[in-house]
Amino acid sequence: MTEIFVKSLPLKDVIANLAEAFDTVYFNRCHEYQINIPEQFGSGFIRGINFDNGFGLLEYRCFFKSSLKIHFSVNQTHPLKFIYCSEGAIKHQFEEKNTLQTIDQFQTAIVASTAKNGHILIFPRNTNIHLNSLEISRKEFKKKIDCDLNHVDVNLRKLFRDLNARNLFYYHGNYSMAMSDCIDHIKTTRLDGFTRRLFLEGKSNEILSIQIQDYQDDRKKEPKRQILRKSELGNIQKAASLLKQNLSSPLTIAELAKEIGTNPSKLQEGFRYTFGLTVNNYLNKLRLEYARDQLMIGELNISEISNNIGIANKSYFSRLFKAKYQVNPKEFSGKIIKNSKKEQA
């Protein structure tokens, strides 16, 4: 395992130290500093940018041929780190403790060491990593949060006010869809120069705001949590499959939410995010697609199809079908039969 030691802030010094450790050069584009990982170590890049009031963003998009341990050590109060892993997995360790914490894909961590102790990040070998880390210098950042903190969770309030780093802090959670979208925007932007700097500063502030909301939501007990997490999207697909498998007697929203281990609010948010539809609208979409396909096959009559999709009222079924396909089921069936005869003639 390769071990390197770097300074913490400003981020220019972090990148300069990394460049020295990798025996390479770093680049400066409008105060955003970047090193490209030399081929003998792996591939990808690490870059960092500082904003006003002790606020900065580090981005790692890299692949290492052997495991790498980076010690963020500095003889002063170490900055807070808000870490977001969107690909791969890394390990985090406080210098004053031996415990290793794994930060997996789609997970976040808020970490604060005590006094003059620092952090250690361990990158695995042969793994693609994409990681963002907000770096906050506590005393400088105080200017940015000189407004009322009373509406922020009490633990975060204490964290931001712990200017002399008396207390160790570690939080580990799954990031939300809002966080995922924000990180994707950073990942895919093609902006450059001054506009890129403005964009990154805005997105960094947005990420911090989302992280605070996510943390506060995590502090609630189920079923009071309302924010959908990236890791929960698999459950939304499971719920969609359950609807498709039970068209004749579909589960209620409450039953469906219970079946996949969430609450109705998060279930609805998941369906809107994944399919752009509410649960009931998605269910009706499945019903009408099934009805259309069966009418085209021609083996079932309209009453049988209506019963198979759990709609006993044939008039209601006909209205739904016509709203979707501009003709009622009987007219649609008639067109299929007519076209079939033409093809056989």
Q: Which of 49-58, 104-113, 141-150, 319-328 comes out lowest in average pLDDT?
A: 141-150
The CA distance from 104 to 82, in Å, is 14
| Same-domain status, 83 and 43 | yes
pLDDT score at 58: 95
pLDDT in tens, 145-176: 766 677 888 899 899 889 888 999 999 999 89
Kindly state whether residue 55 falls inside one of the protein's structural domains.
yes
Is 29 a domain residue? Answer: yes
Residue 304 pLDDT greater than 80, yes or no: yes
In a shared domain, residues 269 and 308: no
Question: Where residue 52 falls among pLDDT bands split at 50, 70, 90?
Answer: confident
Write the CATH number for 109.
Answer: 2.60.120.10
Percentage of the chain modeled with pLDDT above 90: 67
Res 249: pLDDT: 93
Percent of the chain predicted with pLDDT > 70: 96
In a domain, 224, yes or no: no
Instruction: Give the domain range for residue 287.
Output: 281-344
Statement to judge: residues 249 and 106 lie in one domain: no
Whether 305 is in a domain gets the answer: yes
Domain count, the chain: 3
- Based on the fold, state whether residues 11 and 35 are members of the same structural domain: yes
pLDDT at res. 336:
74
Q: Which tens digit of pLDDT belongs to each residue from 171-204?
A: 999 989 999 999 999 999 999 999 999 999 999 9
Based on the fold, state whether residues 194 and 85 are members of the same structural domain.
yes
If you average pLDDT over residues 102-112, what whole number do you get? 95
CB burial class (10 A; 0-12, 13-18, 19+) of residue 136?
A: buried
Please report the pLDDT score of residue 9 as a whole number.
Answer: 66
pLDDT at res. 76: 73
259, 301: one domain: no
**Greatest C-alpha distance within the chain:** 89
Does a structural domain hold residue 223? no
Same domain, 125 and 150: yes
* Residue 121 pLDDT level (bands cut at 50, 70, 90): very high
Q: What is the CATH number of the domain that holds 299?
A: 1.10.10.60
> Do 77 and 13 sit in the same domain of this protein?
yes
- Taking the whole predicted model, whether its pTM rises above 0.95 is answered as no
Residue 111 in any domain: the answer is yes
Claim to verify: residue 155 and residue 61 sit in the same structural domain = yes
Do 140 and 11 belong together in one domain? yes
Average pLDDT of the residues in 115-142: 91
pLDDT above 60 (res 344): no
Q: 267 and 306: one domain?
A: no
Q: Report pLDDT for 153.
A: 87
Confidence check: pLDDT of 334 > 90? no
* Model confidence pLDDT, tens digit, residues 251-298: 999 999 999 989 999 999 999 999 999 999 999 999 999 999 999 888
Least confident of 82-96, 271-285, 328-342: 328-342
Among residues 110, 56, 48, 115, the alpha carbon closest in space to that of 81 is found at 110
Confidence of residue 319 (pLDDT cuts 50, 70, 90): very high
- Whether residue 286 lies inside any domain: the answer is yes
Same domain, 153 and 12: yes
125 part of a folded domain: yes
Average pLDDT of the chain is: 90
Model confidence at 54, pLDDT cuts 50, 70, 90, reads confident
Does residue 337 register a pLDDT over 70?
no
Q: What's the pLDDT band for 341 if we cut at 50, 70, 90?
A: low
